[in-house]
Structure formats: C-alpha cells, structure tokens
Structure 1
C-alpha cells in the first residue's frame, strides 16, 4: 500500500472592498497582509506517517503557488511553517514591519527570552 496522508487546504476569504480586515491602514499594526484577498492554509498531519508527508504537501503547495512570486506570498504567523528558515519566515510573516518589530523587541525583550526558531530577533 502507498503513502496515505491526512491533509487539507483551508481557504479564508480575507479581504476585498467590504472586508473589515482592509479597513485599517497597512502600517497601523504589524499585520502586513491587509491587502490580500485570500489566505490559504496547507496542512498535512504526519502523525504516524513517514517524513514523505512534508514532501507531498510541499509538492501540492508548489502546484498552487508556482505562478506567484515568493515575495508576494505573505504568510500568517499563526499558520507556522516549521520547515521554513528564520529569514524567509520573518520576511513572509511580517514583511515591511520586521524592522519595527525588531526595534520593539529590543526594547521589551532585549535578552530574547520570548523566542522561537522563526521569531523576531531583538534589534541591538
């Protein structure tokens, strides 16, 4: 029997002319993706399945996103991708707000006690 995966895709209608998400100015908060129409969550539950589960979902994501430049993807920090490198994750999660977040983090958490592998690093 071949590889069996429990997977799903969640599509959120995120923006548009009547969406409350788009009302605040994009720079009013650190949420960088107010101008996006849809938000996609691609998920696979590896559970007891082999590591090939990640490859399967990455292939699916690649099929969906192949015509979209990576810098236009944007990503929602609450939909973490544990395989993404810190620099790419930060760029996708916070976009143009990363420097401002690093500055705030440097003020309130200079020792980086509240951290995770893809988190914002305090500005020095």
Structure 2
C-alpha cells in the first residue's frame, strides 16, 4: 500500500531586508518541489514583492541560488500564494502578479496547514 503524498506549506515573511532567511525559504521550497513533494509557498510581509514580475531577479545573495530560478522551480510544480492583506497593504492586485500566483487569505492558509497530509514551515 502506498502512503499518501505529503504537502509542505511554507510561509515566507522575509524579503530583501533579511536575505538569508528569505533565500532559505525559497531554497527549501524548490528542493522539496524537485523531490516530488507537493509545495505551497506563501508570500507574506516583505516577501510579497516577489509576486511581481522582475522582483525575484533583482534579489542577490552571495553563494545562493538565484531567487528567480527557485521561484520558477516552485511555480512549475507547486502553488504560490500572495497573502491578501499583504497585497492590499502594498497596492498589489491580481493584475500585477506573476502568472500562476494566486492571492488568498488566512482562511485558505489555515485550511492548508491543518490538512492531515500537510507539514508547515515559517521563515
């Protein structure tokens, strides 16, 4: 009997102001996605800016994989969600975000992390 596929929900709150923490979240998400894990990456706080075209390409951290590459890896096989309130505080709308990024709120986040097959991390 096969075991149910696990889902990893990652909430990243850090952006360019905390580059190592930010990069860690994206790296873990990309590695999990590449390993076949179902990934849901939530962009909250300052990481909300990475939902916009070109923003991940501007991010730099020595000895780290390019954030743009990590984001594309997660987008290819996982879900990327921009927090509703975080988007509103930054005047970001659905028309502004990268293709494949959804905007959703706390109710959806809680539903994902409370699922029996889910594990979660917060950065």
Q: TM-score, normalised by structure 1?
A: 0.28
Hey, which of these two has a bigger chunk of helix by percent?
Answer: 2
Give the number of the structure whose alpha-carbon radius of gyration is greater: 1
